[in-house]
Amino acid sequence: MDYSVLIVAAGRGERMGLGYNKVFYKLKEGTTILDTTMELFMKDPRCKQIVIVTNQNEMTLAMKKREIGRIVHVAGGETRQASVRNGLMAITEEVVLIHDGARPWCPMKCVDDLLEAMKTEDAAILGVPVKDTIKEVENGYIVKTVERTRLVQAQTPQAFKTSLITEACKRAYIAGIKVTDDAQMVETYTKARVKIIEGSYSNIKITTQEDLKLPK
């Protein structure tokens, strides 16, 4: 199945404490986080279009790799949600995978499984079972222990029919709703069900310096 990927890389990464966008941090392999994230899709012949959403003043850094017609650069917005909305305007394929630029270690199997699901689904996301006990807290005190057997930790990529996520994103924008991931817009503003596909614990999002020390 052919698809476009929308890589969101316009964040500031303040929790990394680098003073610059964390996706341009060089990993031990010598490549940046963003380059490593892109490599998965660059090698996949099913990926017909790579849309990278970055801050406007960082586009030259993101434009090192060129494949005319395949890689598109789009200016990011004030929030991740706004950046996704901007990026969706450039998508050309009927199926889009939306991926965090700071998740460089997603296994290809996860992409394969998502695309397999999209043969019959309108939306599918990666998720891994929550390992820790989760407590609901109010004013510094535990209210209850949440039953974790029904909980999953959402990951990206998240796969959608392009028309579906574009419409959901438009409705979320009009309503002024703020979401924490893209699937939430589909959950809130459409009748489509979102399929959960088993992700990988190695598919972490690099948020702090500690994340760089974790084994892949």
Provide the pLDDT for residue 60.
60
pTM of the model: 0.91
pLDDT tens for 153-171 read: 999 999 999 999 999 999 9
The CATH number that applies at residue 172 is 3.90.550.10
Mean of pLDDT over the chain? 90
Provide the pLDDT for residue 90.
96
Whether residue 14 is predicted with pLDDT greater than 80 in this model: the reply is no
Whether residue 61 is predicted with pLDDT greater than 90 in this model: the reply is no
Which of 186, 195, 141, 192 minimizes the C-alpha distance to 167?
186
Provide the pLDDT for residue 216.
47
Provide the pLDDT for residue 16.
58
Task: Return the exposure string of 75-93: e unless at least 16 CB atoms fall within 10 Å of the residue's CB, then b.
Answer: ebbeebbebbbbbbeebeb
Provide the pLDDT for residue 69.
67
Number of domains the chain contains: 1
- Domain span at residue 56? 3-213
pLDDT tens for 70-101 read: 899 999 888 999 999 999 999 999 999 999 99
Whether residue 66 is predicted with pLDDT greater than 80 in this model: the reply is no
Residue range 53-65: mean pLDDT, rounded: 67
